[in-house]
C-alpha cells in the first residue's frame, strides 16, 4: 500500500497546535518559541515530513528550478553543455531538472508539460530531430516563462538562441578536404527540417559550388545520424559507380559507423577516402584512425545559455526577442583527413 504523505496538519495534530504555528516553526519564524520549534522539527523528522515544494512555488511564484530539455544525455556534447549550465545556475541559487526527448517530438511535449506543471522558473532546450510543430514552445512563452534555445532552435520562436555557425562549419570542412586534393566529397547529414542540419547542408553545397566542383545529389544524404545510419549510408556510398574520395558526416556517432564500414572493407583512411565528423566526441581521438571533427565549444554554450537565462530573470519586463549568440566552431584535424 502507498504510504500517505505527511502534511503540516499531521504534525499539528501530534503537538496539538495550529498548522499555521507549525509552518512558522519550520520557517524559523521569530514569533515561535525555541521550544516549539524544536518540538515541531523533532516530530517532522519522526513522521518523515517532506516539504511540498510545488505548493511553495505556487505561493511564492518562484521555484528556483530551471528545466532543461535535451535530445539525449549520452552525448558528450549535451552532457558537457548541461554540466556547465548547472555550475552557473547552482551558483545563482537554482537547481536544474534534466529531461531528454530521445529525439521524439511526443516525448519532448510530455517533458515540457511536466516542467510547466513543476512551476520551473525557465526552460533551456535543444529540440528533438522530429520537432517541426513549435506549439509547445509557444506554450512556454505564453506562460511568461523565459525560454532559451541552444544548438537546435528555430528563429520563428523569436527567443534567445546560443549555438555555433553551422553554415560556416561546413565551409571550413569542405575547404580543408579540397586542400587535401579531394574532388568528390559526400555529405551524410541530418534532416533539412532541423535548422542546424539544413544550415550544414546549405554550407556544404555553397562551399562545393564556390570551389567550382559539381553538385551531385547522390552524394547528399539525410538521416537520423545514428551509428547505424552511418554504417548504412557509408555502405551505400561505396556501392556508387563513382564513389566519393571524402565523406563529411554531421555527427561523430554516424562518422564512427562510417569508419567501421570503411575498415571492414579494407579501405585505407585517409589515403583512399578521407572522413570528418561533427561534435568532437571523446572517442574520436581514441579510434584508429582518429577522426577529424568539429569542436562545438559545448562549455561556452552551456555557460552562455545559463547566463542568458539569469539576465532574463533580472529583467522580467524585457520582452523576449530573437537574440542569437553564434560561436565560431573549430575543426580538429586528426588522422582520418590528413
What is the tens place of the pLDDT at every residue in 96-111?
Answer: 999 999 999 999 999 9
Distance between CA 206 and CA 199 in Å, rounded? 10
pLDDT at 157: 86
Percent of the chain with pLDDT over 70: 95
Q: Is the peptide bond before 289 cis (omega within 30 degrees of 0)?
A: yes
pLDDT at 132: 86
Distance between CA 139 and CA 29 in Å, rounded? 38
Distance between CA 104 and CA 127 in Å, rounded? 9
Please enumerate in sequence order all residues whose Cβ is within 8 A of that of 82, keeping only pairs 6 or more positions apart, or say none.
68, 70, 73, 96, 98, 302
pLDDT at 54: 60
**Looking at 71-80, 180-189, 283-292, which range is the least confident one?**
71-80
SS3 of the chain = CCCCCCCHHHHHHHHCCCHHHHHHHHCCCCCCCHHHHHHHHHHHHHCCCCCCHHHHHHHHCCCCEEEEEECCCCCHHHHHHHHHHHHHHHHCCCEEEEEECCCCHHHHHHHHHHHHHCCCCEEEECCCCCCCCCHHHHHHHHCCCCEEEECCCCHHHCCEEEEECHHHHHHHHHHHHHHCCCCCEEEEECCCCCHHHHHHHHHHHHHHHHCCCCCCHHHEEECCCCHHHHHHHHHHHHCCCCCCCEEEECCHHHHHHHHHHHHHCCCCCCCCCEEECCCCCHHHHCCCCCCEEEECCHHHHHHHHHHHHHHHHHCCCCCCCCEEEEECCEEECCHHHC
How far from chain centre, in Å, is Cα 285?
Answer: 22
Q: Indicate the pLDDT class of residue 60, thresholds 50, 70 and 90.
A: low
58, pLDDT greater than 80 = no
220, pLDDT greater than 50 = yes
Q: In what order do the strands lie in the sheet with 95-100?
A: 95-100, 65-70, 122-125, 147-150, 160-164, 323-327
Instruction: Name the residue with higher pLDDT: 53 or 118.
Output: 118
**Looking at 118-132, 282-296, 316-330, which range is the least confident one?**
316-330
Mean pLDDT score of the chain = 92
Query: How large is the average pLDDT for residues 63-82?
Result: 92
**Looking at 11-20, 241-250, 255-264, which range is the least confident one?**
11-20
Query: How large is the average pLDDT for residues 47-71?
Result: 79
70, pLDDT greater than 60 = yes
1, pLDDT greater than 50 = no
Grid coordinates representing 299? Answer: 562549455
pLDDT at 154: 78
pLDDT at 61: 65
Amino acid at each position: 500500500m502507498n504510504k500517505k504523505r505527511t502534511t503540516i496538519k499531521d504534525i499539528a495534530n501530534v503537538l496539538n497546535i495550529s498548522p499555521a504555528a507549525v509552518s512558522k516553526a519550520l520557517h524559523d519564524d521569530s514569533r515561535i518559541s525555541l521550544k516549539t520549534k524544536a518540538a515541531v522539527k523533532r516530530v517532522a523528522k519522526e513522521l518523515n515530513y517532506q516539504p511540498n515544494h510545488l505548493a511553495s512555488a505556487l505561493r511564492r511564484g518562484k521555484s528556483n528550478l530551471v528545466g532543461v530539455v535535451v535530445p539525449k544525455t549520452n552525448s558528450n556534447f549535451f552532457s558537457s553543455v548541461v554540466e556547465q549550465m548547472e555550475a552557473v545556475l547552482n551558483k545563482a541559487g537554482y537547481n536544474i531538472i534534466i529531461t531528454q526527448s530521445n529525439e521524439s517530438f511526443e516525448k519532448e511535449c510530455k517533458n515540457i508539460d511536466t516542467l510547466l506543471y513543476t512551476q520551473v522558473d525557465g526552460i533551456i532546450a535543444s529540440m528533438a530531430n522530429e520537432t517541426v510543430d513549435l506549439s509547445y514552445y509557444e506554450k512556454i512563452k505564453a506562460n511568461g516563462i523565459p525560454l532559451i534555445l541552444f544548438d537546435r532552435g528555430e528563429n520563428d520562436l523569436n527567443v534567445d538562441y546560443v549555438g555555433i555557425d553551422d553554415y560556416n562549419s561546413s565551409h571550413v570542412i569542405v575547404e580543408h578536404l579540397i586542400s587535401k586534393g579531394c574532388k568528390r566529397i559526400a555529405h551524410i547529414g541530418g534532416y533539412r527540417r532541423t535548422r542546424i542540419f539544413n544550415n550544414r547542408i546549405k554550407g556544404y553545397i555553397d562551399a562545393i559550388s564556390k570551389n567550382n566542383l559539381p553538385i551531385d545529389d547522390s552524394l547528399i544524404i539525410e538521416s537520423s545520424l545514428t551509428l547505424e545510419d552511418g554504417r548504412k549510408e557509408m555502405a551505400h556510398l561505396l556501392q556508387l559507380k563513382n564513389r566519393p574520395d571524402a565523406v563529411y558526416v554531421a555527427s561523430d556517432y554516424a562518422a564512427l559507423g562510417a569508419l567501421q564500414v570503411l575498415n571492414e572493407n579494407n579501405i585505407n583512411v585517409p589515403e583512399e577516402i578521407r572522413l570528418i565528423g561533427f561534435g568532437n566526441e571523446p572517442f574520436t581521438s581514441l579510434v584508429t584512425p582518429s577522426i577529424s571533427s568539429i569542436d562545438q565549444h559545448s562549455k561556452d554554450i552551456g555557460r552562455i545559455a545559463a547566463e542568458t537565462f539569469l539576465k532574463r530573470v533580472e529583467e522580467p519586463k524585457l520582452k523576449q526577442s530573437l537574440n542569437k549568440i553564434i560561436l565560431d566552431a573549430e575543426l580538429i584535424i586528426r588522422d582520418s583527413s590528413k
